[in-house]
Chains A and B, each alone.
Chain A
Amino acid sequence: MHKVRVIPVLLLRDFGLEKSIRFTDAKYVGCPINAARVFNGHNVDELILLDIIATKEGRGPQTEVVREIADESVMPFTVGGGIRSVDGMWELLKAGADRVIINTAAIENPDLVSRGAERFGNQCMVVSIDVRQRKDGGYEVYTHAGTRATGLDPVDVAVHMEEMGAGEIFLTSIDLDGTMDGYDVVLTRRVADALTIPLIACGGAGSVQHLAEAVYDGHASAVAAGAFFLFYGRRRTVLITYPKDEDLIQHFKPEHIRPKDPETFIDIKAARL
């Protein structure tokens, strides 16, 4: 039986990790290599690494960081940020990424998605769509790390990306990013139901209950979160956590949960970044 993926998202700025709230107020949270090592030790279903300043700096993600993380892990690893060419994708795959995430370049130049899918297969191509809710209640797609409005509707963009060869959509609510108030279930469902490819919901997770809502009410195939896995307690102390099977069982159908290898020992001291 197919399991729901629960995916930590790490945001990379230079050689450090940050976590934002609504794409601003970024806080330094630690070293990406250590964080990836700890998540690998937690047997995570997949890890996503996004270089959040790559597009602004006109370059692709830091391949050295990708390589170092891949060297130490045996987990599915997806990388994005500033990818603008098929060669750029190839560099990341060679460095150890399994899949690539494209955001701004896919929306500006959808043909890039097709060319990537023709070479690497569509299971390799993830298109990230960042969305803000408008005052009138409608939704609008933003690019360039949430700084540029496009006037486009997220459902239209997602369906177009599927047609161009995307294998999965990574959908983020900018309004809920880092708030830990829960996913935008309405947005998630609207986009997921329009697609035949899977969708990863992101933005707002603060509890296992939220993860389950995105799947059962939002129809997401997978759920991603940043702050929920990086911060502990009301004061948002940096501490890496990942839900245990017992926690997931309270909210998920048992057949949707992947049993983690029980022998893995997690050193809680190492889990502090």
Chain B
Amino acid sequence: MIAVVNYGIGNLDSVVRALRNCDAEATITSDPEQVERADGIVLPGVGFFSKAMDHLRESGLLDVLNHRVLDARTPVLGICLGFQMFSRFSEEGDVDGLGWIDAETKRFRFDGMDPTPKVPHLGWNDLDHVRESPLFEGIHRDACFYFAHSYYVSCNDESAVLTRTEYGHDFVSSVQHDNIFGTQFHPEKSHANGVQVIGNFVRCTRHA
């Protein structure tokens, strides 16, 4: 079973639907016991960073998430905000994140650029693949994915970076650090290519 963690905000159903389309059993939950039993964990995508962290803390999920991901090495996929929460700190609310990867979440700032890219970065963009990962198996190098974000993850540890994307400047659009997978884009909204990425993650939860 894959636990889709509910932190009170965001479109959870589309993630669950995408997982089920890939033949995974998926449940929306904020129950620590269910997360403890899961073969895979998804932190989905929409909301405000500090509010989402508050919710994790209040629902008693922080300890169980840390244990499952860092000790038991359960595969976890963070999508958009969920991915940003892997970082140590975010400018969105000036709060600490989960600290699973050595990175900070920063706001896009394009002052003085001409033309100035609009923020949020909304829409489709392609990926520059830095290294191979099971997450992108079967994905064509020209494939585009759907982004909707004003903040991006700035990695101190480059070894985790899978892809970079260009919007005003380069930013990290996906990472993998052992069992920890994160995408700044929304695979659950990215047509066939997105379904393929979700299916690849589901396969990772089976081999773990």
Contact = CB atoms under 8 A, between A and B. Distances in A.
Interface in A107-162: 118-124
B99 interface: no
A221 B14 contact: no
B119 interface: yes
A79 to B, nearest CB: 11
Contact of A1 (B119, B125, B148, B150): B125
Best-buried of A97, A121, A123, A167 by chain B (most CB within 10 Å): A121
A99 interface: yes
B122 interface: yes
Interface residues of A, number: 43
Contact of B119 (A76, A98, A197): A197
Q: Interface SS of chain B: helix, strand, loop or mixed? A: mixed
Contact of A121 (B47, B116, B126): B47
A121 B13 contact: no
A75 interface: yes
Contact of B48 (A118, A197, A264): A118
A70 B47 CA distance: 19
B51 A119 contact: yes
Contacts of B12: 94
Contact-size category for B? 35 or more
A43 interface: yes
A221 B118 contact: yes
Interface stretch (A18-26, A179-187, A255-263): A255-263
Best-buried of B149, B150, B191, B194 by chain A (most CB within 10 Å): B191
A268 B106 CA distance: 46
B130 interface: no
Given A96-B13, A221-B118, 18 more contacts: A3-B124, A70-B13, A74-B195, A75-B191, A76-B186, A94-B11, A94-B12, A96-B14, A97-B11, A119-B48, A120-B46, A121-B150, A123-B149, A168-B120, A197-B119, A259-B144, A261-B191, A263-B192
Interface of A: 1-5, 40, 43, 45-46, 70-71, 74-77, 93-99, 118-124, 167-168, 195-199, 221-222, 258-259, 261, 263-264
23 contacts: A2-B117, A2-B166, A3-B144, A45-B123, A70-B17, A74-B18, A75-B189, A96-B11, A97-B11, A99-B148, A119-B48, A119-B51, A120-B10, A120-B47, A121-B47, A122-B150, A168-B120, A198-B118, A198-B120, A198-B122, A221-B123, A222-B123, A264-B192
Which are the 10 A-B pairs with shortest beta-carbon distances? A198-B118, A123-B120, A3-B124, A123-B148, A258-B124, A261-B192, A5-B123, A258-B144, A76-B189, A167-B120
